[in-house]
């Protein structure tokens, strides 16, 4: 199946995400990491660290003072925001 550019796709339902717990989802052969902050905002990124390709879903969330959160790479603790 060919993915249509700009078409919306459902990766997960909100109830599948625990606050500040990254989780891997796959859509059409591509892996994504999703996480939800304490305010219920859902974020998504490709599941590969651009530095060495580590799976970001194996990392952890870092809470920021403003209530947002970023994801940290499990290899080098580099932080990525949505």
19-52 as b/e, with b when 16 or more CB fall inside 10 Å? Answer: eeebbebeeeeeebbbbbbeeeeebebebbbeee
The pTM (predicted TM-score) of the whole model is 0.83
Count of residues in the chain: 82
Residue range 44-57, pLDDT digits in tens: 999 999 988 999 99
Is 70 exceeded by the pLDDT of residue 1?
Answer: no
Q: Partners of 32 in the beta sheet? A: 25, 46
Fill in the DSSP letter of residue 67. S
pLDDT more than 90, % of the chain:
59
Architecture of domain 16-80: 3-layer Sandwich (2.102)
- The yes-or-no verdict on residue 3 having pLDDT over 90 is no
Q: Does 21 score more than 90 pLDDT?
A: yes
């Amino acid at each position: 199946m060919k993915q249509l550019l700009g078409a919306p796709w459902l990766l997960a339902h909100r109830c599948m995400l625990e606050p500040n717990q990254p989780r891997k989802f796959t859509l059409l052969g591509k892996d994504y990491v999703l996480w939800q902050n304490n305010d219920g905002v859902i974020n998504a990124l490709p599941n590969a660290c651009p530095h060495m390709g580590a799976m970001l879903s194996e990392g952890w969330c870092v809470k920021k003072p403003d209530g947002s959160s970023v994801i940290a790479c499990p290899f080098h603790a580099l932080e990525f925001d949505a």
